Structure 1
């Protein structure tokens, strides 16, 4: 089939490479200009560079306009494939090809619709992540599903590891979906939108640790904000520190949430959780931190003894 690919960052790059390596004819690529926005500078493999290396025509755009619509019409695609295109597409574009637009979304729709699905899945305590190929419609990630693949979330997995794993799913899910569409065997499944969960873009504030959360919830937040993402953070005696690595304590600790308490193993136990004064909660054991100047320390280097509090601001 004649394919136009819409995409950006490593997700779009992997999708385009899969199409280039396939039996399909990539007749054009639409991608965004390079951005210095923090989340867009991560996983920044260039779709534009890959397309030009293979002499595939490229249209750069931040959002759809009349020029883009004219370019799509000139390319005469049988189908559009989209992965990590960052703005809404109108029906004049997504419904233009005979087979419409196949969108790839890195969650198991209808759950984790929207933005940063893997980070939010890990934070929320989901048991698995995955990749969905679905038909694009006029809403965000609500179209009929064609194929899905899932990956279980392990007890110590980080978002970084899960992103890499779901990116590796792209060739199989994409090419299976295209084969079914081309052969006329595609069976589209409407989403149960009553089960839809819709998450917003992550902001720096979303990574500020709330020590009234259960230690297991904070542990998942730390793993969701693993390098190279902006780490989960807190404040200690006026300094902002990033929590690079942590785990849930073996012991039960009581007191006030955020208290830098006592050494457990090679880490420092921080009192955490609701009703911590009742002494029924596990603590979060911090293993490694990064100071505001970028220096990384083991927890016991940074906290040589208990005392003081981790807080939500620099006061």
Structure 2
């Protein structure tokens, strides 16, 4: 089939690479200009460079316009494939090819519609992440599903590991879907939108630790904000501190959330959770921190003894 690919960053790069290596004819690529936005500079493999390196025509745009629509008509694709295109596409584009637009979204729809689905899935305690190939419609990630694949979330997995695992699913899910569409054997399944969960873009504020959360929830937040993501952070004695590694305590600790309490093993136990004054919660044990100058410290080097509080503000 004649394919036009819409995509950006590593997700789009992996999708385009799979298409280039397939038997399909990639007749054009639409991608965004390079951005300095923090989350867009992390998984930054260039779709544009890959396309130009294989002599595939490229159209650069931040959002759809008449010039983009004209370009799609000139390329005359049988299908559009989209992965990590960052703005809404109108029906004049997604409905133009005979087979419409196949969108790849890195969650198991209808769960975790929207933005940063892998990070939000880990933070929320979901048992798995995955990849969905679905037909694009006029809403965000709501179209009929063709193919899905899942990756279980292990007890110590980080978002970085899970993102890489879901990216590795792209060639199989994409090519299986295109084979079914081309052969006329595709069986589309409407989403149960009553089960939909919709998450917003992550912001710096979303990585600020709330010590009234259960220790297990804070632990998941820290693993979701694993390198190279902006790490989860708190403040100690007027300075911002990033929590790079932590785990839930063996012991049960009581007091006030955020209290730097006592060493447990090689880490420092921080009182956490709702109703911590009742003494029924596990603590979060910090193993490694990073200061604002980028230096990593073992927890017991940074906190040589208990005392003081980790707070939301300096």
TM-score interval w.r.t. the shorter chain? over 0.9
Match of 2:141 in 1: 141
Match of 2:269 in 1: 269
Match of 1:23 in 2: 23
Match of 2:203 in 1: 203
Match of 1:180 in 2: 180
Q: Any residues of structure 2 matched to 1:66-77 within 5 Å, and which?
A: 66-77=66-77
1:313 to 2:310 alignment: no
Residue ranges of structure 2 left out of the alignment (5+ in a row):
none
Q: What is the rounded CA distance, in whole Å, between the counterparts of 1:245 and 1:13 in structure 2?
A: 30
Give the drift of 1:313. Answer: 0.4
Q: What is the rounded CA distance, in whole Å, between the counterparts of 1:241 and 1:101 in structure 2?
A: 44
Match of 1:81 in 2: 81
1:152 to 2:152 alignment: yes
Give the drift of 1:293. Answer: 1.1
Q: What is the rounded CA distance, in whole Å, between the counterparts of 2:171 and 2:141 in structure 1?
A: 20
TM-score (norm 2): 1.00
Residue 175 of structure 1 aligns to a residue whose secondary structure is helix
Give the drift of 1:292. Answer: 1.1
Match of 1:260 in 2: 260
Match of 1:14 in 2: 14
Residue 51 of structure 1 aligns to a residue whose secondary structure is helix
Q: What is the rounded CA distance, in whole Å, between the counterparts of 2:166 and 2:73 in structure 1?
A: 32
Match of 1:115 in 2: 115
Residue 67 of structure 2 aligns to a residue whose secondary structure is helix
1:247 to 2:247 alignment: yes
Match of 2:35 in 1: 35
CA offset digits 1:109-162 (Å, max 9, x no partner): 000000000000000000000000000000000000000000000000000000
Q: What is the rounded CA distance, in whole Å, between the counterparts of 2:311 and 2:33 in structure 1?
A: 39
Which stretches of structure 1, 4 residues or longer, exceed 2 Å deviation after superposition?
Answer: none
Residue 104 of structure 1 aligns to a residue whose secondary structure is strand
Residue ranges of structure 1 left out of the alignment (5+ in a row):
none
